[in-house]
Structure 1
């Protein structure tokens, strides 16, 4: 057995330990030789941990657990008053709507393994999304079926694409025209020439500027517009999604809310998980790393794992300073603006106006997504109204109360049957979230070359998190990065 990241995580590491990986002699031998050749690590002070992990999202929690399984003492430091990072469930709302991580596919081996260890029950939710009529397209305030859209004079798509709804176009073109023979090699320097903007890519597929704006920029999958997203990253994501689809059609969430996955993972840890401790500086001095907290306290250890998104790390002083492409990535890596309003209805206005409850709009309302989390699939427990990219930033500038009022007003204007029957309860913005500054990370054109450099350790500071994953996206990518960084620390 080769000691790679996958076997390190999933071959029963918790019960077996490194001793059971006797076949992994090259990595272990290198580890022992390096230890013999390296200067002795400064003795730990009483109560000092072997490793400090910054951030209590799933990546940081997973890395901490893996290191504890190998006998390391670990302290986790989190700025928020909760664990979970980009997992956030509204437990006080019907159906427990998710503001962040939503579900995992059947191929999320790391995610399912973490869920089993955390003792949470996974339930299939894909049928809840697919149930009911497909969402209607609302253009210029008017609803359209797929057939009506195809015949609409204002449809800017090429003839062969006119039957596609705007939200389907980019994914379809990337899937049909993926230039990567092996999607997992996306960050190989040999593919650098493919790292162009999504705008250039879509233009080459025959889309006009008007079509690109409608099909991407109004509700971008990644980024703010087609100019600021790498088409190479989109093709990598397409390959990852296809791989997941091949594993099975299921979509799985945690019963009662995904936040229970993070809290369950935290409970498995032996060391402290310290909440409400904002990191303001990381300094290195020889064989020790010191983490400085906003309240003036400090923590030191031989190694620090930083799982903070770069949008948060760029507000932390790091000494010695990061250099080269790593510094550039920390300073510039993009994070997706996404804002959401959770809405409930006192009666099913969609039955009254005979229109599909779901809506994809080209106006300030964004996308209206019914949440079918009641006793049966017919029950709609609420709606997540979502804005992405520039629209999310526009909502954020309004402020939460004004954005909620606008959402209710827009629904009632477009659908008079909803008048007096809808209420907005919660507003959540990932761009405004203090310790995230955006949702999922994304690379801009020409930036994929950063990846292999930005994940390298800076002295005794190591990096993980979804943004550092090389072969997966989302929660699975976060867990993949935890495997890499735990092995990195153990073999340092």
Structure 2
């Protein structure tokens, strides 16, 4: 941590994966750099806590998605973070008979058929809501929509079919045993950092760029903005002169809501390690449950979309209550006494996130490129929402920060 300098070559706004990626890319450039972070920690939407002495909880991102192309895999190796390469249990039902194999197979068949129709539609180049490609009357449609709430943080009627198709999923998903958020925090290394420094205004009307923060004012030759789209769309950070095209792009790339709740299990041996629990509820408003992640004595619940937002609005404890009710419905009412709430995320109420990760609204798939474009050779933009293929991921964010840092170096040579 450092005090606020009066002038730097490059100021980076935000110490999430994108901001840290930019800072690390510039560390041997000879440029003076500072990362300005509103929170009292690094990592942004990547954050690991100990929910209990024996339970690690990734409050934010928890999976190394597309691990064969994920830049954090190499970083984990360099920092001696052990990677768990076991196949995730998302499509399997490892416990109970609440989702019988025959019905599960029918659901997966319907889900895959939906993805095929959506892919065909996206290739036409005409954007629309992904919900249009649900098969009319298919009994599994509500649960297919539930998958969208987990993947996008929003239901299919709010998701661009072209944007969904653009996401690159290699199907390889690994985990970090000590926590993805812990890995991102360790990646920070010696980045020059000012915490508790909320940026209010980026004034690019003069020759340099003046940045007003809660800790004072500084100037920079170049600025890399890595904050979530919600803060740009809501103009929590203002630009002078205004950048209406950036605000419009950010509005077209809102953050969906995905939240987790961690429950301790008093009799963990009654559950399989790394199992999955999800019922054939025929509802979109439903949770999905990871049983004993890493073999820990807990259940991690996951809620998305409108249900996640409603549970946040209902206040503390609502997510745990919902999770316990659903699990008791699946496993029997006696199971309630074995569950104890430990921790939860509330990303929509986090003032520096206001959501989980971005999705493009129907008709707005092209806004990622608009948001990523530099302005006047002085303002540069990064973050998961600017990634063309790996949006909504930590590695997509990190890579975008590295990309923006490269743009800064090129601009300084011109």
Equivalent position SS for 1:174: helix
Equivalent position SS for 1:299: strand
Q: Which residue does 1:432 correspond to in 2?
A: 349
Q: Which residue does 1:231 correspond to in 2?
A: 161
Equivalent position SS for 1:179: helix
Rate the CA distance shift 1:448–1:192 in 2: closer, same or farther, 3 A: farther
How far has the Cα of 1:385 moved from its partner?
1.2
Whether the 8 Å CA contact 2:146–2:284 is kept in 1: the answer is no
From the CA coordinates, give the structure whose radius of gyration is larger: 1
Residue of structure 1 aligned with 2:73, choices 112, 121, 141: 112
Q: What is the alpha-carbon distance in structure 2 between the residues aligned to residue 279 and residue 336 of structure 1?
A: 23
Q: Which residue does 2:385 correspond to in 1?
A: 467
Residue of structure 2 aligned with 1:370, choices 287, 291, 299: 291
Q: Which residue does 1:164 correspond to in 2?
A: 106
Q: Which residue does 2:22 correspond to in 1?
A: 63
How far has the Cα of 1:133 moved from its partner?
5.0
Q: What is the alpha-carbon distance in structure 1 between the residues aligned to residue 395 and residue 363 of structure 2?
A: 25
How far has the Cα of 1:411 moved from its partner?
3.1
Whether the 8 Å CA contact 1:231–1:445 is kept in 2: the answer is yes
Q: What is the alpha-carbon distance in structure 1 between the residues aligned to residue 276 and residue 395 of structure 2?
A: 31
Whether the 8 Å CA contact 1:342–1:425 is kept in 2: the answer is yes
Residue of structure 1 aligned with 2:132, choices 190, 200, 211: 200
Query: Are 2:252 and 1:317 aligned?
Result: no
Q: What is the alpha-carbon distance in structure 1 between the residues aligned to residue 214 and residue 381 of structure 2?
A: 21
Q: What is the alpha-carbon distance in structure 2 between the residues aligned to residue 411 and residue 453 of structure 1?
A: 43
Q: What is the alpha-carbon distance in structure 2 between the residues aligned to residue 386 and residue 330 of structure 1?
A: 26
Q: TM-score scaled to structure 1, two decimals? A: 0.73
For structure 1, which segment, 207-216 or 99-108, has the greater mean C-alpha deviation from structure 2 after superposition?
Answer: 207-216
Q: TM-score scaled to structure 2, two decimals? A: 0.86
Residue of structure 2 aligned with 1:402, choices 314, 318, 321: 318
Q: Which residue does 1:423 correspond to in 2?
A: 340
How far has the Cα of 1:47 moved from its partner?
5.5
Runs of 4+ in 1 over 6 A off after TM superposition: none
How far has the Cα of 1:108 moved from its partner?
2.7
Whether the 8 Å CA contact 1:339–1:395 is kept in 2: the answer is no
Equivalent position SS for 1:164: helix
Rate the CA distance shift 1:417–1:231 in 2: closer, same or farther, 3 A: same
Residue of structure 1 aligned with 2:32, choices 70, 73, 92: 73
How far has the Cα of 1:53 moved from its partner?
0.3
- The runs of 5 or more residues in structure 2 that have no matched partner are none
Q: What is the alpha-carbon distance in structure 2 between the residues aligned to residue 311 and residue 172 of structure 1?
A: 33
Q: Which residue does 1:386 correspond to in 2?
A: 302
Q: Which residue does 1:30 correspond to in 2?
A: none
How far has the Cα of 1:470 moved from its partner?
1.7
Whether the 8 Å CA contact 2:374–2:380 is kept in 1: the answer is yes
Q: Which residue does 1:50 correspond to in 2?
A: 9
Rate the CA distance shift 1:484–1:128 in 2: closer, same or farther, 3 A: closer
Deviations 1:63-102 (A, max 9, x none): 1111122211110011111101111112243331222222
Deviations 1:469-488 (A, max 9, x none): 12333122112212321111
Q: What is the alpha-carbon distance in structure 1 between the residues aligned to residue 294 and residue 186 of structure 2?
A: 22
Whether the 8 Å CA contact 1:179–1:235 is kept in 2: the answer is no
Query: Are 2:181 and 1:273 aligned?
Result: no
Q: What is the alpha-carbon distance in structure 1 between the residues aligned to residue 28 and residue 116 of structure 2?
A: 40
How far has the Cα of 1:395 moved from its partner?
0.6
Equivalent position SS for 1:292: strand
Q: Which residue does 1:329 correspond to in 2?
A: 249
Q: Which residue does 2:365 correspond to in 1?
A: 448
Equivalent position SS for 1:302: strand
Whether the 8 Å CA contact 2:81–2:183 is kept in 1: the answer is no
- The runs of 5 or more residues in structure 1 that have no matched partner are 1-44, 138-142, 151-162, 181-185, 375-379
Equivalent position SS for 1:462: strand
Q: What is the alpha-carbon distance in structure 2 between the residues aligned to residue 109 and residue 217 of structure 1?
A: 26
Q: What is the alpha-carbon distance in structure 2 between the residues aligned to residue 217 and residue 411 of structure 1?
A: 17
Whether the 8 Å CA contact 2:347–2:355 is kept in 1: the answer is yes
Whether the 8 Å CA contact 1:340–1:427 is kept in 2: the answer is yes
How far has the Cα of 1:371 moved from its partner?
2.8
Whether the 8 Å CA contact 2:110–2:140 is kept in 1: the answer is no
Deviations 1:413-447 (A, max 9, x none): 54223131111111212222221111121101110
How far has the Cα of 1:349 moved from its partner?
8.1
Whether the 8 Å CA contact 2:93–2:99 is kept in 1: the answer is no
Across the aligned residues of Structure 1 and Structure 2, the Cα RMSD in angstroms comes to: 3.0
Deviations 1:259-313 (A, max 9, x none): 22222222232xx211111111111132211221135x11210111000011122
Whether the 8 Å CA contact 1:135–1:359 is kept in 2: the answer is no
